[in-house]
A and B are shown apart, each in its own frame.
Chain A
Amino acid sequence: MRLAGVALGRWRLARNHLLPRGGRSRGRRSSALLVLALMLVMAGLIGSGLAALFAQLALEGASPAEAAMALGLLLALVLVALLVFDLHEAVATLLLDSDLELLRRSPLSPAALLGLKLLDALPRTATPLVVLGLPAVAGYASAYPLPAWAWLLLPAALLALWTIPLGLGVAAAMHLLRLVPARRAREALALFSTLTLTLIWVANAFLLPRLTDPAEGLPRAAFAALTATPPGAAWSPAHWAARGFGAAAAGDPAGAARHAAPLLLAALLSLALAGWSAGRHLEGTQAGLATRAGGRPSQVRRPAVRGGRPSLLRAILARDARLFMRDWTVLGDVLTAAALWTLLPLVSAPLHHAPGPGLARTMLLALTVGLGYEVAARSVPFERDGLAWVRLAPVRPGRWLAAKLAGAATIALPILAVVTASLVLGFRLPPGEALAILSLVLPALGLSLCLGLWTGVAFGDPHWTNPRAALSLAGRLLATGLLIAQAAGWLLLAQLAPPGSFEGLRLGLPLVLAAAVSVVPLRAAAARLSRLEWCH
């Protein structure tokens, strides 16, 4: 076996994945570059936020060693995010990849196979390093300048921080797949990894602006929490790395080396653990996966046999309800996303000002436009290959869409009802105000679900592996743009027709507007469905 030849093949595979050649690959190439661009933008935004945080710490007199504790917290977050990403990638690339059978049958040693698959996983697991690890160190260095030699520590520290959770992830994946069916494990981990990124993003948008307010300074408690040595720091690889940078910033090369040494040793031990786990359990785990391809059969209650006329609407609603309730990754994701969408307006709300009806209305509007994407758009690719029945069966696209819309509303309305009730009670809104908000929010939900259905039909990917990425990247970006446009439009309408203006117009205008605009995406979706082709 020529390891160099195998490695060259892997390189070509990775290159063709990232930069595909040929006319038909233009879309995939721009999509890969778009992902890279988005990661860099996110890293830039987080980096600027963290630079402001470290500047604030320096301004308030934190020493390099004290500020390094804040860096340690950030790197610990990176470590946790990497562990989630690595566990997902270990399951995806090390145990379920399509080329695994070929590699296993070739005369590759377990160590060489593991090495190849770890290289495969490197670019995909690097996201937390690029969007948080690197910006955290750069932010620290902008406030506490590092000597030139200390920058040599950066790649070694980042590589070690990447390797440590990967070894643990590989070992954990072997055991996880003995307990949970492979596909469910993969979807759940994909969801956790995306939610981790989302939480990092929310923390960046919500917490940092409050901590780094130059007018009010850093709250005392926050300063103390960020600069204190946390319990267990002596055993935290993230804090070893941070203390190494702290020592470097203080001009202490020996101190930097003393803190970097256990970090590198832990990385080597972790790699050894991955190798040992793969050598001992990889074969058995993969053999287990092959013999129970679909997992243990799960029996469900036999559907009741009814008499009478057939109902397409009832059939589609029953099917969607069954599929939705049996997929806890999607169910959990929708509920988490609903909470995040509702809380989103708080990011821009002033920290100490009392919220009023305006904030409640904005929170409900954020939820309603979000539900269009979370529920309606994803309900289309959620059908996976079953979507082909839209083209096979004698069903008009318009009827199918109407049933899907009813199904999406059946899921979205209870969520909206619970959140509305919570906000009305929490903000003690008078009934008239609550009614006025609902007169805006319900039409907004209708339009949002219609637009969501269109994006789902136009951009849904029936072969999704991550519930948060059930639409193509272009679809997700377009959906984001539509969400912003809808929220802005409804808020503008609320400003143009404030309470006190002609009541009938104020209550009826949103409904008329939503009904008129909803026709456009529904017609576009129906036209798209009637042209849908199924080549898979």
Chain B
Amino acid sequence: MSEPPPLRVRGLTRRFGDLTAVDALSLELRAGEILGFLGPNGAGKSTTLRACAGLLRPDAGDIEIAGASLASAPLRARALMGFVPDRPFLYERLSAREFLDFVGALYGLAPDACAARAAALLARLDLIGAADDLIEGYSLGMRQKVSVVAALLHDPPLVMLDEPLQGLDPRAARALKDLLRERAASGGGVLVSTHLLEVAERLCDRVVILHRGKKLAEGSLEELRGASGLEAAGAPATLEDVFLELTREEAAEGGE
């Protein structure tokens, strides 16, 4: 029997009052894949990620993390994922090392193993020198790095990142992208929401384009080029061209 995918979403719907932020969204993230989550502001990307992380309850639909249902087996599902939010969930008056020690205990990691893994990841992201400083003195990029380490600490099969590159310097951004590629190469699934289309183009194996809470397109860059019709026009289309073309069409239809 084949392994369940790191993430499977079926018919996810989430409303805020009259606003339907995510509308019957279905998607699947395969093992060993980096899936890019794209869409204009307010498209529902962060809502989807937060619902998949268990921070928001869906109004309808199922979410499975590596075969564990978030609704019926929430503890098992949460143990199988790591989440990097757009605004890190940190304790200002702990040091990075103390914070990661705490997160490791939440995930049931043995203290010595947790300390070793945290040190390795902190070193990888060039934060080991500031690991004993209080987080309240950290820059945005440093906080983002701590958040990434916290998500990877327990080595989950699924990692979800909401705008993970914001605030990171080029060296740290490269280190993070390498880390994510390594995770995918070792069979994990990575879901990345980003506004940076060049990053998505270079990093992701497939992308899902979300618009007004609905899935507009899904596939590799080549498949999306075909779907947008730009390839037929003969022009070498980038992901940005495809994205603008698809969201322009949808906006025009929505405006009618």
The residues of A with any CB-CB pair to B shorter than 8 Å are 23-24, 181, 183, 293-303, 305-312, 314-316, 318-319, 322-323, 326-327, 383-389, 391-396, 531, 533-536
A300 touches B95 (CB 8 A): yes
Q: Quick one: closest B residue to A530, CB to CB?
A: B74
A295 touches B110 (CB 8 A): no
B75 touches A394 (CB 8 A): yes
**Which of B53, B101, B114 has the most chain A CB within a 10 Å cutoff?**
B101
How many Å from the CB of A503 to the closest CB on chain B?
44
B112 contact set on A, CB distance < 8 A: 305-307
* The one of A300, A316, A531 that contacts B98, using a Cβ cutoff of 8 Å: A300
B93 touches A327 (CB 8 A): yes
A294 touches B137 (CB 8 A): yes
* The one of A302, A323, A385, A389 that contacts B132, using a Cβ cutoff of 8 Å: A302
Given the interface pairs A299-B132, A300-B132, A303-B98, the reply to whether A536 lies near B87 with Cβ below 8 Å is yes
> Using a Cβ cutoff of 8 Å, how many contacts connect chains A and B?
133
B75 contact set on A, CB distance < 8 A: 394-396
How many Å from the CB of A202 to the closest CB on chain B?
31
How many Å from the CB of A233 to the closest CB on chain B?
45
B115 touches A305 (CB 8 A): yes
A391 touches B79 (CB 8 A): no
A301 touches B132 (CB 8 A): yes
B17 contact set on A, CB distance < 8 A: 23-24
12 contacts between A and B (CB under 8 A): A181-B136, A297-B138, A303-B97, A307-B111, A311-B105, A314-B105, A315-B102, A322-B98, A327-B93, A384-B91, A394-B76, A395-B106
CA separation between A531 and B58, bound complex, in Å? 11
B120-134: CB near A (< 8 Å → 1, else 0) gives 000000000011111
Which 3 A-B pairs give the minimum distances between C-beta atoms?
A315-B105, A297-B137, A393-B106
- Chain B, interface size category, equals 35 or more
* The one of B85, B98, B105, B137 that contacts A312, using a Cβ cutoff of 8 Å: B105
A389 touches B106 (CB 8 A): yes
Q: Quick one: closest A residue to B47, CB to CB?
A: A535
Given the interface pairs A300-B95, A323-B93, the reply to whether A388 lies near B105 with Cβ below 8 Å is no
A388 contact set on B, CB distance < 8 A: 55, 85, 89
CA separation between A422 and B92, bound complex, in Å? 36
B89 contact set on A, CB distance < 8 A: 385-389, 392
How many Å from the CB of A527 to the closest CB on chain B?
13
* The one of A302, A311, A392 that contacts B54, using a Cβ cutoff of 8 Å: A392
- Whether, in the assembled complex, B2 has its beta carbon less than 8 Å from a beta carbon of chain A, the answer is no
CA separation between A82 and B97, bound complex, in Å? 42
B104 contact set on A, CB distance < 8 A: 310
CA separation between A387 and B92, bound complex, in Å? 12
B55 touches A298 (CB 8 A): no
Main SS at interface, chain B = mixed
CA separation between A382 and B66, bound complex, in Å? 34
CA separation between A318 and B114, bound complex, in Å? 16
Given the interface pairs A310-B105, A385-B87, A389-B89, the reply to whether A534 lies near B79 with Cβ below 8 Å is no
- Whether, in the assembled complex, B108 has its beta carbon less than 8 Å from a beta carbon of chain A, the answer is yes
A316 contact set on B, CB distance < 8 A: 102, 105
B97 contact set on A, CB distance < 8 A: 302-303
A297 touches B134 (CB 8 A): yes
Given the interface pairs A300-B95, A306-B111, A315-B102, the reply to whether A394 lies near B136 with Cβ below 8 Å is no
B131 contact set on A, CB distance < 8 A: 302
A297 contact set on B, CB distance < 8 A: 130, 133-134, 137-138
A293 contact set on B, CB distance < 8 A: 139
**Which of A24, A318, A327, A389 has the most chain B CB within a 10 Å cutoff?**
A389
- Whether, in the assembled complex, B177 has its beta carbon less than 8 Å from a beta carbon of chain A, the answer is no
B134 touches A319 (CB 8 A): no
Q: Quick one: closest A residue to B18, CB to CB?
A: A23
* The one of B57, B111, B133, B137 that contacts A531, using a Cβ cutoff of 8 Å: B57
Q: Quick one: closest B residue to A301, CB to CB?
A: B132
CA separation between A383 and B106, bound complex, in Å? 15
How many Å from the CB of B50 to the closest CB on chain A?
7
- Whether, in the assembled complex, B185 has its beta carbon less than 8 Å from a beta carbon of chain A, the answer is no
Please give 5 more A-B residue pairs, beta carbons under 8 A apart, in addition to A305-B115, A386-B91. Answer: A300-B134, A323-B93, A392-B89, A394-B79, A394-B106
B68-108: CB near A (< 8 Å → 1, else 0) gives 00000011101100010101111111110110011111111
Q: Quick one: closest A residue to B130, CB to CB?
A: A297
B92 contact set on A, CB distance < 8 A: 384
- Whether, in the assembled complex, B244 has its beta carbon less than 8 Å from a beta carbon of chain A, the answer is no
Q: Quick one: closest B residue to A383, CB to CB?
A: B91
A533 touches B98 (CB 8 A): no
A300 contact set on B, CB distance < 8 A: 95, 98, 132-134
CA separation between A326 and B133, bound complex, in Å? 13
A394 touches B95 (CB 8 A): no
B139 contact set on A, CB distance < 8 A: 293-294
How many Å from the CB of A27 to the closest CB on chain B?
14
B29-55: CB near A (< 8 Å → 1, else 0) gives 000000000000000000000100111
CA separation between A383 and B92, bound complex, in Å? 9
A392 touches B56 (CB 8 A): no
B143-181: CB near A (< 8 Å → 1, else 0) gives 000000000000000000000000000000000000000
